[in-house]
């Protein structure tokens, strides 16, 4: 598999929120290093490592534009320039509180917003998805079949075929993933209670959605790492 890129929203490395998420999944995408993760009470380190294996591949983040390979003729430099240019448009940047919850069978931090505020957030992300679409290579057969394993609506299948990802536009949900699938409802409820308690000291911390982060995965055996963080002033 060739190099893949993704556009994420993420806390600033070294911030309490970044440390909470990275420590939970056991991986720091800013350094590219695995870190010690303390499992919730009564869970073994081995089980917790399995439950966080999927988010550990991607780093602590909220997806804006899902992982993609570069289209023919596009380069990393051109992609970086396009991301920086996005920041000079009239986006509504915001800061919002987060809460720990279930999304299907996995756990994540999600915004505590009303519907009007959430729609503004969706509009921002929709513009990012559309603006950077020229950089995305079409999904290959293996990538398409992997996505089709999930139950999708007709609209989501259409979005998958046209944008390479089904959960965009009205199907978009902003979330910072904390676990992979936890099929057992009782175990999921137990882990949710434990992670909610751990997150409680940060409940008043606002997530600053004021930048776009470019993550990169060099090959299928490696995890995504933070390549560049773009703000209205300068990339850092």
Mean pLDDT of the chain: 93
Task: Tell me if 171 is assigned to some domain.
Answer: yes
Is 93's pLDDT higher than 90? no
Q: What is the domain range of residue 93? A: 4-230
- Sorting pLDDT into bands at 50, 70 and 90, what band is 92? low
Q: What is the CATH number of the domain that holds 175?
A: 3.90.1140.10
Of the candidates 233, 234, 229, 231, the one whose C-alpha atom is nearest the C-alpha of residue 30 is 229
- Please give the pLDDT value at position 128: 94
Is 89's pLDDT higher than 80? no
Task: Tell me if 78 is assigned to some domain.
Answer: yes
The per-residue pLDDT for range 112-167, each reduced to its tens digit, is: 999 999 998 999 999 999 999 999 999 999 999 989 988 999 999 999 999 999 99
Task: Tell me if 187 is assigned to some domain.
Answer: yes
Task: Tell me if 236 is assigned to some domain.
Answer: no
The per-residue pLDDT for range 52-67, each reduced to its tens digit, is: 999 999 999 999 999 9
Is 190's pLDDT higher than 90? yes
Task: Provide the number of structural domains found in the chain.
Answer: 1
Is 235's pLDDT higher than 50? no
Task: Tell me if 235 is assigned to some domain.
Answer: no
């Amino acid at each position: 598999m060739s190099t893949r890129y993704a556009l994420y929203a993420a806390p600033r490395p070294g911030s309490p929120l970044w440390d909470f998420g990275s420590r939970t999944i056991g991986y720091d995408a800013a350094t590219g290093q695995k870190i010690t993760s303390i499992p919730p009470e009564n869970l073994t380190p081995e089980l917790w490592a399995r439950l966080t294996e999927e988010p550990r591949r991607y780093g602590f983040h909220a997806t804006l534009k899902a992982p993609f390979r570069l289209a023919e003729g596009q380069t990393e430099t051109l992609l970086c320039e396009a991301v920086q240019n996005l920041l000079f448009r009239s986006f509504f940047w915001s800061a919002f509180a987060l809460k720990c919850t279930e999304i299907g069978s996995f756990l994540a931090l999600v915004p505590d917003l009303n519907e009007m505020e959430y729609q503004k957030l969706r509009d921002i992300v929709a513009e990012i998805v559309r603006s950077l679409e020229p950089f995305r290579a079409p999904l290959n057969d293996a990538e398409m079949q992997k996505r089709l394993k999930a139950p999708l609506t007709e609209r989501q299948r259409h979005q998958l075929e046209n944008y390479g990802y089904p959960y965009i536009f009205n199907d978009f949900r902003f979330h910072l993933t904390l676990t992979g699938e936890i099929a057992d409802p009782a175990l999921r409820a137990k882990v949710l209670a434990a992670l909610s308690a751990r997150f409680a000291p940060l409940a008043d911390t606002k997530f600053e959605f004021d930048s776009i982060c470019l993550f990169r995965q060099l090959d299928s055996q490696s995890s995504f790492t933070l390549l560049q963080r773009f703000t209205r002033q300068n990339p850092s």
